[in-house]
Amino acid sequence: MERYYFHSSIQTHVVPLGHNFEALENQFDIIIIGGGIVGAATLYKLQMRHPNKTILLLEKEGALADHQTGNNSGVIHSGLYYKPGSLKAVNCIQGRHEIVAFAKEYGINHDVCGKVVVATDASELGNLDRIHKTGIENKIEGLERITSAQIKEIEPHVEAIDGLHVPCTGIIDFRGATEKMAEVALAKQSNTKVHLNETALDFIKNENGAEVVTNKGRYNGKVLVFCSGLQADRLAKKDGVDLKEKVVGFRGDYYELTDQGKHKVKHLIYPVPNPDFPFLGVHFTRMTDGEIECGPNAVFTFKREGYGKTDFDLKDTMDALTYGGTWKLFMKNMKFGINEYRRAFSKKLFLKTLQRMIPDLTMDDLRPGRAGVRALLLRTDGDTRDDFRIEYTDHSIHVLNAPSPAATASLAIGEQVAKMVEERFEL
Ligand SMILES: Cc1cc2nc3c(=O)[nH]c(=O)nc-3n(C[C@H](O)[C@H](O)[C@H](O)COP(=O)(O)OP(=O)(O)OC[C@H]3O[C@@H](n4cnc5c(N)ncnc54)[C@H](O)[C@@H]3O)c2cc1C
């Protein structure tokens, strides 16, 4: 039998196992399903708190962070927008401090470069006031109301009437951070493993915890922790969680600035978001590799892990269309949805949105970029604005809703899950 192991060198190795060794190898204290940043942060936190415990992390792709984590905007969010006291607010702020400290300690590419949120129209001033107030309540360090002249000093090409400066926002290589979290945990305990290319298929409760059946083998864990992003609802149901909600995917397409356009953006430029939606609006982001991205839009997708504009998956589509929450979402947001679809296929419309902040941006300044898909737990009433959500059974913990800013908040979420494991289970 061949099995894939993930070692601290972040490479995939093939290790043949003997039968007796295998029996021992298949017992773990904790099994984590999903190798995005939430799974890796949970692994890291659990291992640091319990150096003697053995943990298995299963990831179905050939690398960590291949879905939401590796395709996001790469922004370390400040915590500006989230309802004071909510899990998003508390974990984002704590997680931001932790991820910056982690990046410094382990040399992860990052830069706390700050961002501006800009109002370009008087109709946005009410929402700008509301965000400013929330930011003050959330004690966002250095948050300042700035005039159009001050905005120009920071971002000379932006035309705006009012704005906020958020100096503690930053950018980071989230994929690099994810890999490093796993690497540090693996170095701490030699019997902890990360298996890539291994899909968890079934979960069978037993007297010691549960057995996980994968496409390659079977493993016993005293506790299972699910951090499976776009598949969270399906795996929760498979594990016996009575979940009414479903995960829906919203694809976000990006454009990149060409060399001729790059000088028009210095750091991060965000519009004032519409509070009716869980998205921050199409923004400009300087990435850690020096590229400047513009996006993402938000298009309902018929393939959860599909990154092309016309990607389609029958199971995902049937799942979405047989769920009442999806139709309620469509009915409530018909106009927004149609506009987003039109913008997804029209560079001209995308440019028009961007020109609201930077009027001198031209078609030649933009080239098509990549895409990411956000997982949002859609409520039965069609609302997607829920807080982070973590639930547990008698043998498992499920991270059911971890949309943005969960990458920023990952170490705080990992800490919270580790505490839940300690409080609810005997390891
Ligand atoms: C376009 C976009 C922009 C965003 N921008 C930001 C941002 O700037 N800042 C920020 O903080 N957040 C941002 N977010 C949100 C952030 O990326 C996510 O909240 C975060 O990455 C969630 O991490 P995760 O580990 O839960 O999910 P994922 O990264 O999706 O990881 C889940 C993993 O589980 C694996 N998996 C699923 N099922 C199985 C199975 N059966 N067996 C084994 N493995 C399985 C998947 O393959 C996947 O690798 C953005 C998201 C998107 C999509």
| pLDDT tens, residue by residue, 330-356 | 888 888 888 888 888 899 999 999 999
What are residue 328's phi and psi, to 5 degrees? -65, -40
Nearest atom (ligand 1) to Cα of 404: 15
- Short-list 281, 292, 312, 347, CA closest to 128: 281
- How far is 299 from 250, CA to CA, in rounded Å? 5
How far, in Å, is the centroid of ligand 1 from the Cα of 225? 15
Nearest atom (ligand 1) to Cα of 69: 21
Helix (H, G, I), strand (E, B) or coil at 76: strand
* Token pair belonging to 88: 């998003």
Type and span of the H or E element at 154: helix 148-154
What are residue 265's phi and psi, to 5 degrees? -130, 125
Best mutation site among 228, 277, 401 for ligand 1 pocket (most ligand atoms within 8 Å of CB): 228
| Cβ(96) – ligand 1 distance below 6 Å | no
The pLDDT assigned to 9 comes to 34
Nearest atom (ligand 1) to Cα of 74: 8
Best mutation site among 43, 57, 67, 68 for ligand 1 pocket (most ligand atoms within 8 Å of CB): 68
The pLDDT assigned to 64 comes to 98
**Residue recorded with tokens 């079934």:** 202
- Short-list 221, 207, 177, CA closest to 55: 221
Q: Ligand 1, atom 3: nearest CA belongs to which residue? A: 72
Q: What angle do CA 143, 144, 149 make, to 5 degrees?
A: 145
How far, in Å, is the centroid of ligand 1 from the Cα of 250? 12
The pLDDT assigned to 391 comes to 95
Q: Where are the alpha helices (DSSP H) in 158-242?
A: 174-188, 232-238
How far, in Å, is the centroid of ligand 1 from the Cα of 207? 32
Q: What dihedral angle (degrees, nearest 10) is formed by the CA atoms of 281, 282, 283, 288?
A: 110
| CA-based end-to-end distance of the chain | 29
Which residues of the chain, if any, have pLDDT below 50?
1-23
The pLDDT assigned to 241 comes to 96
| Cβ(170) – ligand 1 distance below 6 Å | no
**Residue recorded with tokens 């994929």:** 175
| Cβ(95) – ligand 1 distance below 6 Å | no
- Short-list 283, 266, 282, 273, CA closest to 135: 273
Q: Ligand 1, atom 27: nearest CA belongs to which residue? A: 229
How many other β-carbons are positioned within 10 Å of the β-carbon of residue 245?
A: 21
- Its pTM surpasses 0.85: yes
The pLDDT assigned to 24 comes to 57
- How far is 101 from 1, CA to CA, in rounded Å? 41
The pLDDT assigned to 6 comes to 39
- How far is 227 from 38, CA to CA, in rounded Å? 6
Phi-psi sector, 146: left (phi>0), alpha (psi -120 to 50), beta: beta
Best mutation site among 69, 78, 96, 215 for ligand 1 pocket (most ligand atoms within 8 Å of CB): 69
Q: Ligand 1, atom 15: nearest CA belongs to which residue? A: 404
| Cβ(67) – ligand 1 distance below 6 Å | yes
| Cβ(232) – ligand 1 distance below 6 Å | no
- Short-list 29, 167, 28, CA closest to 96: 167
| Cβ(285) – ligand 1 distance below 6 Å | no
Which amino acid would we find at residue 278?
P
Q: What angle do CA 117, 99, 307 make, to 5 degrees?
A: 70
How far, in Å, is the centroid of ligand 1 from the Cα of 411? 14
Nearest atom (ligand 1) to Cα of 402: 19
